[in-house]
Amino acid sequence: MKSLLIGMAMLVGAGGNLLAQEKDMQIEDLLSKMTVEEKAGQMTQLTLEFVSKGDGYAVASPHELDPEKLHKVLVDYHVGSILNCAGEARTPERWYEMISQMQEYAMQKSRLPIPVLYGIDAVHGVNYTVGATLFPQEVSLAASWNPEIVEKMAAITAYECRASAIPWTFAPDLDLGIDPRWARIWEGFGEDPYLASEMGVAMTKGFEGEDVGDKDRVAACVKHFVGYGAPRSGKDRTPAWIPETMLRELFLPPFQAAIDAGARSIMINSGEVNGVPVHASKWLLTDVLRGEMGFQGVVVTDWYDIWNLVERHHVAADRREAVKMSVLAGIDMSMVPMDLEFTELLIDLIKSGEIPMEHIDAAVRRILIMKKELGLFERPVTNPKDYPLFGSAQHEAVAKEAALESITLLKNEAVLPLKKDQKILVTGPNANTMRPLNGGWSYTWQGHKTDEFAKKHASVLSALRQFAGNKNVKFVPGVSYEMEKTYEYDKRDDFEKAVAAAQDVDVVVLCIGENSYTEKPGDLNNLALSEHQHALAEALLATGKPVVMVLNAGRPRIIQQLEPNTAAIVHTYLPGNHGGEALVDLLYGEANFSGKLPYTYPRDVNDLVPYYHKFSENMAHNDGNEYTDPFFNPQWEFGFGLSYSDFVYSDMQINKSSFEANEVIELSVVVKNASQVDGKEVVQLYSTDVVASITPSVKRLRAFEKVSLKAGESKTVRFRLPMKSLAFIGADHKPTLEPGEFVLQLGDQKESIQLTGVRMTF
């Protein structure tokens, strides 16, 4: 049985110290030889465009490195890290050729042979490498509720990253998806800190393995520390207001879990928390992250964010002050990304004594240690010829498996599974394009070239035609995306023809949602489904034909007016290159649904409340007046998902009814597949603290296990839950456990237990 809880260190960041080590004499010797200029260079990270032929971000096509720029950056300025893809995907061979050229300047033409650390956003596979295996995005993986498949995905990504000569990935994203309006909610593992922690640990272990220096492993970079996913406006890179109790209870635990799992680096939140930009917060970066949480790895900024202390946040008067502020706060490496001013200003600040040399040495030491742990001093580049499984059928099979386990059935009124001989109308803007199946960070930042690079893979339409035959599948778009514009633009496209075509088929498969996007371009002003798509859905529903609504989007879009008349609703999230095939297998019953929602799916645009809300958010005032409607009324709850199987829970057992704080709760429940269809069920364990000095959540996820059950089979699922794992963050910002009643829930089974003793803090 899988582990249940990462210890109470998660709640406060008491923290593991997996990276602690004796001083490395090789690193200390190298550090002692380095000049101020060389140290400042190691703390600098520039984007690929800056060393490429061309002008600024307008690089030459085809792309080429510029030898003069390389010499200036790597030899004259001693820059330690390069990132990104200069706007294009490239083959492993081209990555190898390019990074080899960089390492030649860094290792052979520089005074000291220090390798370049190349980093990339390999967030759902090596998404900037042509031919790489692209997996479901993190939100989809969270919907699988299967950490094992996440670890497999990350291990394959690491392998294919190294096949591309790249040793560092900016993943996993452990931002808590607490606000469904946020453009980056799909980049994380949903709204729950425990689910995110389990998935984050699995991804970190998959990337780094037992030895991060192995030729098929990469360093993880956990992002974005911390509170990034809860902007008050719902828009990217805007302020968050998070009470410290909430910050420690919900937002820190996933990062602590990844640190305890050995994550080598962390990227910082571009926004501000409680009025302080995180890049300038010594409290968060030094006192909490390094002091309480025990993180000893590399802290890297996000894109341009030191300059944003001047330009967006207005906490620094000029760039010199911004550099001083951020480095003293705890930044090791600046993702500048397009100038050398950071390096020059940092040199000046060191020489003036405004930043102590021991502070600089600590940062550079961490960078050099990570480079050594990755094996870059001995093997600065890895060759694609040593990676025969790159993009293999073996790897692609895991990507399809991940898609199959994540796609979630939300409604089914006996229309699914479809029959192979039924006549199908396929319509909607998401039917005949690979862009929305993959989302952003796919071949390009916004995913706008995905159809060009993913031609060998099947869209929903192609997969349906391959399975059911062209004669049974008719396609009329009805609405299509304006691909040259930002993601939310769509237009009518044979709208009336699509509605008319519905009259001649048995079932309509309506593919709607969002086009690809990420970060600020994905900001929206209305969580409702787009006007054209909503109109298409209404018109098709009015025909009386059964409509299977396929929601293909990175966040929930409001569909409450459409849901009552829709025969079936399937949420694919962003399932990757094999999403079309996986969806069709599920629609026709070739495979069974087992995905569960990793977030609360809201019913209304202003009702954006997570499942772990407080009791006062869930019930009306009990004074006898007319306002008696419940306040928590989502379209579907967190953890919800249907199947072709029927699962029945019974015989919940707990080893005893009364516990002390240092004891372990042993629970079990019998789960039966009471159907004729084999299936998988996610058994979810929730707890409720009935009375607490800080208002408790209605419930909290404490453990889960995904189990396979053949038709008619029963299994006893067991959990061990430390009593201390039920603690909450008290008013003193410490984990607190108070005596009293707790309710534990497995499926529809509930039992109460008592905690005895006195109030405890940890």
In words, the CATH class of domain 17-386 is alpha beta
| CATH number for region 645-761 | 2.60.40.10
| Residues 362 and 333 sit within 8 Å (Cβ to Cβ) | no
pLDDT confidence of residue 341: 98
674-724 confidence digits (pLDDT tens): 999 999 999 999 999 999 999 999 999 999 999 999 999 999 999 999 999
Q: How many CA atoms lie within 13 A of 665 on its CB side?
A: 33
Domain regions of the chain by residue span: 17-386, 408-587, 645-761
Main-chain dihedrals φ then ψ at residue 171, nearest 5 degrees:
-165, 155
The arithmetic mean of pLDDT across residues 504-513, rounded, is 98
Main-chain dihedrals φ then ψ at residue 90, nearest 5 degrees:
-140, 160
Helix/strand/coil for 154: helix
617 confidence band (pLDDT: 50, 70, 90): confident
pLDDT confidence of residue 756: 96
Q: How far is CA 384 from the centre of its chain?
A: 27
pLDDT surpasses 50 at 405: yes
The arithmetic mean of pLDDT across residues 346-363, rounded, is 98
The arithmetic mean of pLDDT across residues 597-625, rounded, is 87
3 confidence band (pLDDT: 50, 70, 90): very low
pLDDT surpasses 50 at 11: no
Helix/strand/coil for 647: strand
295-312 confidence digits (pLDDT tens): 999 999 999 999 999 999
Could you give the C-alpha distances from 669 to 680, 687, 717, 738, in angstroms and in order? 16, 15, 5, 26
631 confidence band (pLDDT: 50, 70, 90): confident
What size, in residues, is the chain? 762
What mean pLDDT, rounded, does the chain reach? 95
562-584 confidence digits (pLDDT tens): 999 999 999 999 999 999 999 99
The fold of the 408-587 domain, in CATH, is Rossmann fold (3.40.50)
Q: Which helix (H) or strand (E) holds 371?
A: helix 357-373
Q: Which residue has the tokens 């031919």?
A: 131
pLDDT surpasses 60 at 5: no
526-537 confidence digits (pLDDT tens): 999 999 999 999
22 confidence band (pLDDT: 50, 70, 90): low
d(CA 511, CA 550): 5
pLDDT confidence of residue 544: 97
The arithmetic mean of pLDDT across residues 486-503, rounded, is 93
| Residues 260 and 216 sit within 8 Å (Cβ to Cβ) | no
pLDDT surpasses 80 at 163: yes
Residues designated catalytic: 302
The arithmetic mean of pLDDT across residues 130-153, rounded, is 98
User: Which residues have CB under 8 Å from 159's CB, separation 6+?
Assistant: 216, 387, 389, 390, 395
Share above pLDDT 90 across residues of the chain, in percent, rounded to a whole number = 93
The arithmetic mean of pLDDT across residues 42-60, rounded, is 96
pLDDT confidence of residue 624: 62
Could you give the C-alpha distances from 185 to 188, 283, 556, in angstroms and in order? 6, 26, 10
285-296 confidence digits (pLDDT tens): 999 999 999 999
Amino acid identity of residue 258, one-letter, is A
The arithmetic mean of pLDDT across residues 278-290, rounded, is 98
Q: How far is CA 454 from the centre of its chain?
A: 22
Q: Which residue has the tokens 């909430």?
A: 246
The DSSP 8-state label assigned to residue 701 in this structure reads: E
Name the residue among 603, 437, 448 with its Cα closest to residue 511: 437
Name the residue among 729, 612, 727 with its Cα closest to residue 662: 727
pLDDT surpasses 80 at 366: yes
The DSSP 8-state label assigned to residue 441 in this structure reads: S
Q: How many CA atoms lie within 13 A of 165 on its CB side?
A: 24
Q: How far is CA 165 from the centre of its chain?
A: 23
The arithmetic mean of pLDDT across residues 667-674, rounded, is 98
Helix/strand/coil for 190: coil
Q: How many CA atoms lie within 13 A of 507 on its CB side?
A: 27
| Residues 325 and 280 sit within 8 Å (Cβ to Cβ) | yes
Dihedral sign for Cα atoms in the order 493, 499, 500, 504 = positive
Name the residue among 681, 674, 747, 744 with its Cα closest to residue 712: 674
pLDDT surpasses 90 at 10: no
Q: Which helix (H) or strand (E) holds 479?
A: strand 478-481
Name the residue among 675, 15, 710 with its Cα closest to residue 294: 15
Dihedral sign for Cα atoms in the order 24, 26, 32, 35 = negative
pLDDT surpasses 90 at 12: no
